[in-house]
Amino acid sequence: MHSVGKSWLLLTGFVFFYVIYLLFGALVFSSIERPVEDKLRHDMERLKEEFLNQSCVNAASLELFLNKVLTANKYGVSVLRNSSGRSNWDLASSMFFANTLVTTVGYGHPTPLSDAGKAFSIVYALIGVPFTMLVLTACVQRVMHPLVLAPVTLLQRSGLKPRPATVVHFLLLLIVVVLCFFLAPAAVFSVVEVSWTFLDGIYFCFISLCTIGLGDFVPAARPGQQYRALYQVAVMVYLFLGLMVMYLLLRTLHKMADVHGLTTLLQLPRCEESVLEEDTEPIVSNDPTPPQLKDKAASKPLDPGSQPSYNSINKG
């Protein structure tokens, strides 16, 4: 029980540091980008005023004006009147941006304007992307037992053979995921985002949870969006849980392929089983001997070269 508590404590710690890392990123991005954005926004307002004050608009001046408008727009600064009030780099939006960086979704709305912002993005993602992968992996490991091992065992006990049991389980899991992480959120988005259709919602969910993140649909980008910050936080939670579930689905598929001998057929790396052994195993173990080595030690003589190497570590 002690080790279970410890393992959950470590996981909670991971998630806590993940949130802290996002908040830290949000603060830095906001402080770097907000002044640059404010200046660009101010410049654009002046430019628009000057354009309107012209006695006559000719093709050349329009071209020049549009060029500047489109460049500013690329950096997320719109010249439209109804969007001139809101910043892309307030705390919630910066946190949303930081989240899309570390999850590799990367919508690209907004993008850093300054060189300092770009350099910080690189450093931030360099640490953040592997850390997010670690947090997601640790989270998926915690839910593998209740969502994969237990249901498959249950199906086997109810009379199904192992191979059909894994297929039935995978299909059931897929249906639940499609319902809860694609159809339901798409319905919500099509209501909350006025200009989105249901297909747009599905498209957004799919493009986001595959981490493609094209950025043609970004939630909370509409001017005058109510409770924007809260909405952005909700989308961040959705993205995290969604990526976790996609990873879970991928591992379940990989395991199913293992059971059906497909990974062996293609000689691809097999899915690890250690996490399935028991949900109650600690993430941090006080015993430095890997469980695989322990299992094998009983049945094989000790290797004279006991220090692990690339060649020997998994062969015990």
Name, in order, each residue with C-beta under 8 angstroms of 10's C-beta and a sequence gap of 6 or more: 138, 282, 283, 284
Q: Of 21-29, 30-38, 85-93, 257-265, which segment contacts a copy of itself by CB under 8 A?
A: 257-265
Q: Of 29-37, 225-233, 235-243, 289-297, which segment contacts a copy of itself by CB under 8 A?
A: 289-297
The residue length of the chain stands at: 316
Residues 49-78: x where in contact with a copy of itself by CB under 8 A, - otherwise, as a string: --xx-x--xxx--xx--xx-xx--xxx--x
Query: Is there binding between residue 307 and a copy of itself (CB under 8 A)?
Result: yes
Query: Is there binding between residue 122 and a copy of itself (CB under 8 A)?
Result: yes
Name, in order, each residue with C-beta under 8 angstroms of 223's C-beta and a sequence gap of 6 or more: 80, 82, 83, 85, 86
Q: Of 32-40, 141-149, 173-181, 228-236, which segment contacts a copy of itself by CB under 8 A?
A: 141-149
Pairwise CA distance, residues 107 & 93, whole Å: 12
Query: Is there binding between residue 135 and a copy of itself (CB under 8 A)?
Result: no
Residues 8-47 that bind a copy of itself (CB under 8 A): none
Pairwise CA distance, residues 45 & 40, whole Å: 9
Residues 198-227 that bind a copy of itself (CB under 8 A): 199-200, 202-203, 206-207, 210-216
- Alpha-carbon torsion (286, 288, 291, 295), positive or negative: negative
Among 108, 183, 229, 231, which residue interacts with a copy of itself (rule: CB under 8 A)? 108
- Alpha-carbon torsion (271, 296, 275, 161), positive or negative: positive
**DSSP code, position 78:** -
Q: Nearer to a copy of itself by C-beta: 184 or 230?
A: 184
Report whether 100 contacts 107 (CB < 8 A): yes
Query: Is there binding between residue 138 and a copy of itself (CB under 8 A)?
Result: yes
Residues 263-282 that bind a copy of itself (CB under 8 A): 264-276, 281-282
Minimum distance, C-beta of residue 222 to a copy of itself, in the bound complex (Å): 13
Radius of gyration of the chain from Cα atoms?
Answer: 25
